[in-house]
Amino acid sequence: MSNTPEITDSHCHLDFPDFEGQLDQIVANAAEAGVTRMVTICTRLRNEPTVRAIAEAHAPVFYAAGTHPMSAADEPKASVDELVALSRHPKFVGIGETGLDYHYTADSAAVQKQSLRVHIEAAQRTGLPLIIHARAADDDMARILAEEHRNAPYSCVMHCFSSSAELAKAALELGFYLSMSGIAAFPKSQELRDIFARAPVDRILVETDAPYLAPPPYRGKRNEPAYTAHTARKGAEVFGMDYVDFAAHTQANFDRLFTKAATYKAAA
């Protein structure tokens, strides 16, 4: 393991039932694959205590919280103050995931936009990175991100990026990051790989979105943080780099964006 390049799973969901009773093994599997940190994401704020407890119980795990856009109409509206208060936890390192999803939930577009702006303000106030989910909403997504960035700068990652080249360009122009998930390793995802290849390598993160979107050779099975390594190896191919070098770039990128995780020191 000491010779395995270290990488970070920047986005997973360890509180989901798929991992119940297995987290010690999941974290051990990740370490064996060189995945020495992971950020588990709370998608409904009422579940924040559970997600926080996972981060507290496992040294390599950090967490973020927000209201997923697909749940924005069904969950109590998050407030900026609520998110700011949660952010005071030492292992709380990001705001979200939030965003827009018009693929399944276009009928709640207005509520999603309101929720997104609340989360952006929380990111602006805390200095923590915003974690964005974007699907079938590219124009509104680009417009709102840019409008709010003009109001007050903030940092951001486009999680599990699989949108258009135009949205990628808009995000990168704002100084944001693109995160590469297992989708980028799917055989039919060449167009997406081409979008990533045109991005600066110093703006790329890797993730699983576990338990979803397992990369080959595990496609169709439950994903887990250890499999970040398979996506990262595909990323190295996309950028024409050795795996060791690409892994080092993604680590530096994560540290630059998720500064709170990078500087975290466990209590003695």
In a domain, 130, yes or no: yes
In a domain, 239, yes or no: yes
Q: What 3-state DSSP class applies to 41? A: strand
Q: Which residue type occupies 53? A: A
In a domain, 267, yes or no: no
**C-alpha separations of 174 from 79, 152, 203 in Å:** 25, 12, 11
Q: pLDDT, tens digit, for every residue of 233-247?
A: 999 999 999 999 999
For residue 226 the two structure tokens come to 């250890």
Calpha distance 246→53 (Å, rounded)? 32
Contact 117, 82 (CB under 8 A): no
pLDDT confidence bin for 3, thresholds 50/70/90: confident
Is the pLDDT at 1 greater than 50? The verdict is no
pLDDT at 236: 98
Share of the chain above pLDDT 90, in %: 97
Q: pLDDT, tens digit, for every residue of 24-50?
A: 999 999 999 999 999 999 999 999 999
In a domain, 50, yes or no: yes
Q: Which structural domain range is residue 120 located in? A: 7-262
Give alpha helix (H) positions in the chain.
Answer: 23-32, 48-57, 80-86, 102-105, 109-126, 138-151, 165-173, 190-197, 228-238, 243-257, 259-262
pLDDT at 43: 98
Is the pLDDT at 141 greater than 80? The verdict is yes
∠ Cα 180 62 209 (to 5°) = 30
Q: Which residue type occupies 81? A: D
- Domain at 96, CATH number: 3.20.20.140
pLDDT at 2: 53
The total domain count for the chain is: 1
* Exposure letters 135-161 (e unless 16+ CB within 10 A, then b): bebbebbbebbeebbeeeebbbbbbbb
Closest CA to 179 of 99, 103, 76, 82: 99
In a domain, 2, yes or no: no
Closest CA to 205 of 139, 154, 131: 131
Is the pLDDT at 207 greater than 80? The verdict is yes
pLDDT at 267: 66
In a domain, 268, yes or no: no
| Beta-carbon-side half-sphere exposure of residue 202 (alpha carbons within 13 Å) | 2
Is the pLDDT at 268 greater than 50? The verdict is no
In a domain, 171, yes or no: yes
In a domain, 178, yes or no: yes
Calpha distance 121→127 (Å, rounded)? 10
Contact 8, 232 (CB under 8 A): no
**Stretch 111-119: mean pLDDT, rounded?**
98
